[in-house]
Amino acid sequence: MDNGGTAGIRGVLEREVLPRVTKPGRYIGGEFGATPKSGAEVRIALAFPDVYEIGMSHLGLRILYSLVNARPGFAAERVFAPWPDMEREMRARGVPLYGLETFRPLRGFDLVGFSLQHELTYTNILTMLDLGGVPLRARDRESALPLVVAGGPGAYSPGPLEEFVDLFVVGDGEEALPELMEELGRWKRAGGGARGDLILRLARGVAGVYAPSLYRERRLPDGSLGGIEPVTEGVPAPVRRRLVAQLDSARWLSAFPVPHVAAVHDRAAIEVRRGCGQGCRFCQAGFIYRPVRDESPDRVCAAAEEALRRTGHGEVALCALSIGDVPGLASLAERVAKLPAPGPVSLSIPSLRPDRLTDALADRLSAGAKTGITLAPEAGTEAMRRRINKKVSLDDLLRFAAALKDRGWRSVKLYFMIGLPGETEEDLKGIADCIGRVASLRGRGKGRWEVSVTVSSFVPKAHTPFQRDGMTSAEMLRDTQRFLRREVRQRNATLRFHDVELSALEGVFSRGDRRLAAVILDAWRRGARFDGWRECHDPSIWREAFRGEGIDPAAYAGRSFREDEFLPWSVIDAGVSPGYLLRERRKAARGEFTPDCVTHGCQGCGACGAGCAPRPAGPAGGARAAAEAPQDPS
């Protein structure tokens, strides 16, 4: 049965599919604030390869949806990965995957644009393409449209998906995606043409676009990767990421649907800063989103007020990689909390550096609903924190936690990482000591005090100082987890560990090349779906897939790359120079700290081009921070 028409899709869904699946609200569309558009010249399906509740929480999806639909002639629809029960019912009844706004099948769009937020969603991409009637491999697509496009952090290490994706848009998408759609519109008005010609036109005409079919890998005699080179003239090598000079939340977040099913982050989210100057050496986001760009307080408040009015939310999340570094954060939070709304406005913020908590900010956060707050010391000793460039002291951590306890908070979240380069048993004992000392604040004042601890495994990421360092073996990571379970004895401290198998698989694809496409396809055919969900992940499928392709996963996740070795992601220029990343890696080995470029001046990473001047910082910034900063002897 072919249910390709939108009316047919809706009818079969209502009669035969939705009564048989969990959370049918994920699949019905028609939300308040949705933007169905007819008569558009260029249509894109914004495809998020995870469930509705997670995708509807993603700020990037909200921004692109608003931007595209605000343009005459453009239309954006949302599509999410169906849960296995929905996939099963759709296949049984011949229902193609569709956009939620108009129920148009995926194959009926001009562009299918995937957001690559996490490596463990890669098999979901194949599910979505296959359900949508789009051939999985790019070389098997005969018609010119749709083109499969991908962006997000995963585009900075595109190798494993290069067989499936026609175009990667690298970097900020607010300007790049509309430019891509405009160029596609001109191509359509001129009468169209062959698929290969269109891909070449877009790769040449839109900055930040990487088209894998226009490049080839060069292998060395030993089989290792020696380079990635263009096969035609006029395409960049490497491809430099796109960069938006100024944020504009008030315009970018003009409209977004209110979800039918409660989203993971069910609140209004406003970006107050993009980029981070801290330079934590394991953090990919801290490097690929450089340089730091601050949103104006007036635009933040305007965007928050409009979001509260349109959605009915009572909570606003102020979003930034290092939120405590935002200048005037306490006064901004005060302004947002006083915005007109049907009821009191609560505030939430991401993990906060302990040295960035001021009394004013603590009072403001404590005035609303205490929805939870996360502190991220990352490591347990001063020595390891210097290696990873995390300037956080145990005294700051305890002062921060005590301030929350004194203001009526009953719980706090801590975040640590194990398996970091150079880790010793002393570092692990330091983690246990930090947890114990925070938990011991239970006896301070009245009320309960719960400490929730998340411990993740270090995964090397492209375009970071630790990109060349291999992962610790799965068995050693399990030993470390057992060690911490023994060492942390406080009854009011709860430890949660990231699954070692999942972290190892993430490590493979975060450092992968084109050879891994065959593994992904094999695993998908064997049934791999939603690998980021423990209840869905089946390690045996992946072991069989790697074995079937003759690939050792440790050769990707566990090995260390030489300093003179070509990296699979070197075809992408992330803005930060490779030389700077190497210098940072050497400084890590020496235990040397690099100061924040925002408060202490340009450190020469290359992200700003000609360099940048110091700017006003958050509570610990300014002259005091400059005076306390260690000097860089290199």
The domain that holds 150 is classified in CATH as 3.40.50.280
List the chain residues with pLDDT less than 70. 1-4, 357, 365-372, 445, 610-634
In a domain, 612, yes or no: no
Roughly how many angstroms between the first and final C-alpha of the chain, as a whole number?
68
Domain total in the chain: 2
In a domain, 500, yes or no: yes
- What pLDDT, on the 0 to 100 scale, is given for residue 126? 98
Is there a contact between 89 and 99 (Cβ–Cβ < 8 Å)?
no
The domain that holds 505 is classified in CATH as 3.30.750.200
Q: Which two tokens stand for residue 566?
A: 């070509």
Q: Give helix 84-93 / helix 122-131 axis angle, nearest 10°.
A: 20
Using the 3D structure, point to which of 240, 264, 290 is the last residue of a domain: 240
Q: Give helix 425-439 / helix 394-406 axis angle, nearest 10°.
A: 20
Q: Which two tokens stand for residue 464?
A: 């970071």
- What pLDDT, on the 0 to 100 scale, is given for residue 621? 36
In a domain, 627, yes or no: no
In a domain, 544, yes or no: no
Is there a contact between 548 and 516 (Cβ–Cβ < 8 Å)?
no
- What's the Rg (C-alpha) of the chain? 24
Q: Which two tokens stand for residue 405?
A: 């306890």
Q: Is 122 helix (H, G, I), strand (E, B) or coil?
A: helix
Q: Which two tokens stand for residue 311?
A: 């959605």
In a domain, 41, yes or no: yes
Q: Is 6 helix (H, G, I), strand (E, B) or coil?
A: helix
In the DSSP assignment, the letter for residue 441 is G
Return d(Cα 261, Cα 561) in angstroms, integer: 44
**What is each CA distance from 178 to 37, 63, 69, 111, 289, in whole angstroms?**
17, 12, 10, 12, 20
Q: Is 496 helix (H, G, I), strand (E, B) or coil?
A: strand
Q: Which two tokens stand for residue 83?
A: 């849960």
Return the number of other C-beta atoms located less than 10 Å from residue 560's C-beta. Answer: 12
Q: Which two tokens stand for residue 280?
A: 């934590």
In a domain, 23, yes or no: yes
In a domain, 531, yes or no: no
Which residues span the domain enclosing 486? 372-515+551-561
- What pLDDT, on the 0 to 100 scale, is given for residue 345? 86
SS3 content of the chain, % helix, strand, coil (to 5): 40, 15, 45
Q: How far is CA 44 from the centre of its chain?
A: 21
Return d(Cα 252, Cα 303) in angstroms, integer: 9
Interval 172-194: pLDDT, tens: 999 999 999 999 999 999 999 99
Using the 3D structure, point to which of 240, 261, 277 is the last residue of a domain: 240
- What pLDDT, on the 0 to 100 scale, is given for residue 58? 94
Using the 3D structure, point to which of 197, 222, 240 is the last residue of a domain: 240
Q: What is the pTM of this model?
A: 0.93
Residue 410 β-bridge partners: none
Considering the domain architecture, whether residues 376 and 236 belong to the same structural domain is answered as no
In a domain, 64, yes or no: yes
